[in-house]
Amino acid sequence: MPDELLAAEQLGRVHFVGIGGAGLSGIARIMARRGVAVTGSDDNDTPFLVPLREIGVPVHRGYAADHVADADTLVVTTAARDDNPEVLEAQRRGLRLLPRSAGLAAVMAGRRVLAVAGTHGKTTTTSLLTTALIEAGADPSYAVGGVLTATGRNADLGGGDLFVAEADESDGAFLVYDTHAAIVLNIEADHLDIWGTPEAYAAAFDEFADGIDVAGFAVCNVDDAGAARLAERQRAAGRRVVTVGVDAGPDRADLRAVDLRVVGGGTTFTVVRGHEVLAEVALQIPGRHYVVDALAAFALGVELGLDASALARGLGQFRGTGRRMEAIGTVETPTGAVRVYDSYAHHPSEIVGDLEAARSLVGEGGRLLVCFQPHLVSRTRIFGAEMGAALGAADEVVVLDVYVAREQPDAEVSGALVADAVPLPADRVHFVPERARALATLLGLVRPGDLVLTLGAGDVTALAPQVLAALRSSAPGEERGDG
């Protein structure tokens, strides 16, 4: 991190190394919308690049020293290799090098930052909050870790003074933000390859909360033990805290979601403060964990002084975020439909929540088929058995090998650690290390009435559209795309 965090307009011409990622692409779009000269490079042509090309941002395929051109600043993805030629060229020329967190701080400058933190649920909650604020007339800027279905973008520049940001704790990025208000959804051990111990990971959230503006506040989900402890410590320190919960009683939660009802593919609930009804909310997404996300977003908006009815309408208009229980499509056959969903879940608690939501969508006589790809060697080593236990809520499970990402492979850590822990009969658990073979395995298992769910933070997401295409080519009849 640089000693001084500059505003975007002070960075000169900015080149993004890894511009196709969810984080950097959003920062680049906002900088470009603010009039900063922006270019970028990436090995992959990702969906996040479409909104950049629409506004004329030049994007190079692959990395080369001459792509740096006349840039003054480079914003660099954490996934960049040490020998990246663009980074080496910038170092040779003495250019300013910024990590993603500093790039995001640069576009936040001058606005009241609303940060959404937690081990899981950040992307959905950031998206819910953004949609609600837009409906309430706040016109926020936003940066989300996935594509917001309502806008087709993962980031944009708004005309208001609010900036909604997904606050990433994985590498400590959220510690550098100048935060006015924050949501803390949950605190469970994760990213221990970075933080080392669960205690150090939890302590980072305390440091994050301590950095909230003295005129601001935190919204904490007290259904989660870690977030509840943080709320207690913040209140003891004299800080402003709003607590929310579904399971917590009125003595623990300031705002509660009550009368939860699953209706079709969504969930309705009532928001109460004490005995006062604040709003009725009808979500278009299924699952109890999404109710907590929506409640936290609603609480933050109300605490900002925005209209409760407008916030509730905005939450009801939210149609999801890419890769968060995303409906990829449906194939109708003479004997029943097959639905295909995809989700980013990779932590045991996330798997539990998404399988609970998926189970609520499975029709009578249908089954839940899950294809899961563990993410990171370190996470699989620590949580592999818990991942397997969570997958036991499915009817059939296909487990791929570990998506290695930023770490080195380990011969002793494979997807078998997860598959062996799934509490289902052996003939219903299938360890298929290669993704290419998983498609054939899934097609051999699926039958009319089933719901197929691909899960994981790696490239397993490519399987969902392949499954859908294969089913459509082999099952004549009415075909319908949902996602």
Query: Catalytic residue numbers?
Result: 122-123, 166
Q: What is the distance between the alpha carbons of residues 242 and 221, in angstroms, rounded to a whole number? A: 9
Q: What is the distance between the alpha carbons of residues 377 and 325, in angstroms, rounded to a whole number? A: 24
Q: 60 has which bridge partners?
A: 41
Side by side, which strands form the sheet with 14-17?
Answer: 59-61, 38-42, 14-17, 73-76, 96-99
* Tokens at 377, concatenated: 């060697």
Q: Quick one: 392 exposed, middle or buried, by C-beta within 10 A (0-12, 13-18, 19+)?
A: middle
CB atoms within 10 A of CB 270: 15
For residue 271, the number of C-alpha atoms closer than 13 Å in the C-beta half-sphere is 28
Residue 127: alpha-carbon gap to chain centroid: 9
* Tokens at 181, concatenated: 């208000």
Q: What is the distance between the alpha carbons of residues 480 and 403, in angstroms, rounded to a whole number? A: 31
Q: What is the distance between the alpha carbons of residues 276 and 363, in angstroms, rounded to a whole number? A: 36
Which amino acid is residue 109, in one-letter code?
A
Give CA separation, 166 vs 136, 271, 393, in Å.
20, 24, 29
